[in-house]
Amino acid sequence: MRDINQFTVTQAVKDSFKTEPGSRFEQLLQGLIDHLHDFTREHNLTHEEWMGVLNFLYDCGQISTPERHEFILLSDVLGFSALVDMINTKGGATEGSNLGPFYLDNAPRKALGCNLADDREGVTVLVHGKVTDSLHNPLPGAIIDTWQADSAGTYPIQEQEQGQDKYDLRGIFEADDHGRYYYTTVLPKPYTVPYDGPVGDLLRAGNRHAWRAAHLHFMVRAPRMASITTELFFENTEYIDNDAVFGVRRSLITKLQPAKNLDALGYALEKKPDAVCEFNFVLAPEG
């Protein structure tokens, strides 16, 4: 019979897994066990605290749905998502930022120049730019998948019970022959991350605010290029310096400009904008 104690149990657990020697799975699993056990010993975790953690994770699972992923939200507020994004940003590519809990992978295809906001009130913004590789070569046909909150800081997916279409303020665009994308939408406002679940309880317990800086979400991809998931923020707006999920990067902040000389851009727009923001996405090669 093995003599298991608080100092030998860690190796015993690691030895119990018959993983492929030297594999990435073995590396990640054994590292997780090491850190989890070290944390438990370092802080002398009590039974009550241990059960509190398990109940918290259970509650995250209970409130999650295909349209609200509480574990992604937890990852966001702990800076876990931001750290993974930072580590995995390819050299020369646009920096990554949070996916968030409200992404849908089957948004409708939209024509360049359309107005995503339909008849919503608020400031109409022309969002435009190019998709290029890291050598500044345009990437015709690149796919730009975007989603956002409205001028009240609400995602339509959160208001389906009030009759909102969950696919509103979402669209998938294909860059033109010059790698350009362009569309109009409503300027989003800051909002709080979902605060009615266990992650909200965690923020309140830690005396933290839940506000996100106003932003647009993007997922951009092209053949033979590494795709990016990122966000676009606006200069001199609220919470730009203390975003609740640590999503802001200096390189992802754009400036809103008055809508002037639109004819020079050569875009066919469904709605005349009040303001313009320009942002160029850069993709790095795969591998």
How many domains does the chain divide into?
2
Q: Are residues 32 and 152 in the same domain?
A: no
- Residue 194 confidence (pLDDT): 87
Q: Decide if 187 is inside a domain.
A: yes
- Residue 66 confidence (pLDDT): 82
Range of the domain at 204: 71-283
Q: Decide if 52 is inside a domain.
A: no
- Residue 83 confidence (pLDDT): 96
Q: Decide if 58 is inside a domain.
A: no
- Residue 11 confidence (pLDDT): 94
- Residue 124 confidence (pLDDT): 97
- Residue 13 confidence (pLDDT): 95
CATH number at residue 187: 2.60.130.10
Q: Decide if 95 is inside a domain.
A: yes
d(CA 95, CA 246): 13
pTM of structure: 0.88
Q: Are residues 138 and 198 in the same domain?
A: yes
Contact 275, 125 (CB under 8 A): yes
Q: Are residues 99 and 161 in the same domain?
A: yes
d(CA 94, CA 87): 13
- Residue 287 confidence (pLDDT): 78
| pLDDT tens track, the chain, 287 positions | 468 999 999 999 999 999 999 999 999 999 999 999 999 999 999 999 999 999 999 999 999 988 788 999 999 999 999 999 999 988 899 999 999 878 988 999 999 999 999 888 999 999 999 999 999 999 999 999 999 999 989 898 888 887 788 989 999 999 999 999 999 999 999 999 988 999 999 999 999 999 999 999 999 999 999 999 999 999 999 999 999 999 999 999 999 999 998 999 999 999 999 999 999 999 999 97
Q: Are residues 19 and 125 in the same domain?
A: no
Q: Decide if 220 is inside a domain.
A: yes
Q: Are residues 89 and 21 in the same domain?
A: no
Contact 73, 90 (CB under 8 A): no
- Residue 87 confidence (pLDDT): 92
Q: Decide if 4 is inside a domain.
A: no
